């Protein structure tokens, strides 16, 4: 049975800026680094299309982009594992990872909910706050370079 976990982070930036930092192919590996060095996704973020989240060794997960509202919300439906670049189809599952950005006129709150297997709850509770902290650091560093 999956457990849904919730995380959030408030960042002093507009949603469009944070969204670019989150989903640019160049910056995605930077803020996801606490999950493991070199994580990436392929091919592109298109609603209804398949997606893979991978490590440099070719392991990861596959799924589909259920919903995509640029600068506001993205819903990933995870459907299974990838090992050594191959889809593992003998134990399919369904879980969701949802990112929602809410702007109050000054700052943006990034809300994340993620379904996880019980054996990964502690790991996710440790790593996802670090991931969101890295996102904030990345956004603030990039903004300070612009000023």
Tell me how far apart the alpha carbons of residues 49 and 141 are, in angstroms, rounded to a whole number: 32
List the beta bridge partners of residue 11: 108
Q: How far apart are CA 61 and CA 58, in angstroms?
A: 10
All domains of the chain, ordered by start, with CATH? 3-146 (3.30.530.20)
Q: Look at residue 147 in the predicted model and tell me its pLDDT.
A: 55
- Which residue do the tokens 């469009």 mark? 16
pLDDT at 58: 92
Q: Residue 66 contacts by C-beta under 8 Å, 6 or more apart in sequence?
A: 47, 75, 76, 77, 96
Quick one: what percent of the chain has pLDDT higher than 90? 88
pLDDT single digits (tens) 39-73: 999 999 999 999 999 999 999 999 999 999 999 99
Q: Can you name the residues that pair with 3 across neighbouring β-strands?
A: 116
Return the pLDDT at 146.
66
Question: What confidence score (pLDDT) does residue 144 get?
Answer: 73
Mean pLDDT value across residues 16-42: 95
Asked whether the predicted pLDDT for residue 143 surpasses 80, the reply is no
| Sign of the four-CA dihedral 44, 22, 40, 9 | negative
Chain segment 83-134, per-residue pLDDT in tens = 998 999 888 889 999 999 999 999 999 999 999 999 999 999 999 999 999 9
From CA 73, how far away is CA 120, in angstroms rounded? 24
Residue 136, both tokens: 């904030």
Is residue 139 within 8 A of residue 22, CB to CB? The reply is no
How much is the pLDDT for 92?
81
Please say whether the beta carbons of 74 and 99 come within 8 A: yes
What backbone torsions phi and psi does residue 64 show, to the nearest 5 degrees?
-140, 155
């Amino acid at each position: 049975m999956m457990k849904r976990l919730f995380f959030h982070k408030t960042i002093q930036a507009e949603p469009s800026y944070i969204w670019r930092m989150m989903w640019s192919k160049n910056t995605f590996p930077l803020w996801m680094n606490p999950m493991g060095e070199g994580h990436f996704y392929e091919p592109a973020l298109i609603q209804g299309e398949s997606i893979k989240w991978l490590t440099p060794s070719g392991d990861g997960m596959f799924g589909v982009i259920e919903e995509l509202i640029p600068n506001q919300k993205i819903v990933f439906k995870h459907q299974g594992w990838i090992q050594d670049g191959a889809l593992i189809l003998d134990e399919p599952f369904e879980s969701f990872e949802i990112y929602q950005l809410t702007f109050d006129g000054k700052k943006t709150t990034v809300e994340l909910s993620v379904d996880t297997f019980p054996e990964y709850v502690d790991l996710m509770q440790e790593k996802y706050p670090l991931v969101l902290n890295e996102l904030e650091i990345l956004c603030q560093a990039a903004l300070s370079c612009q000023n």
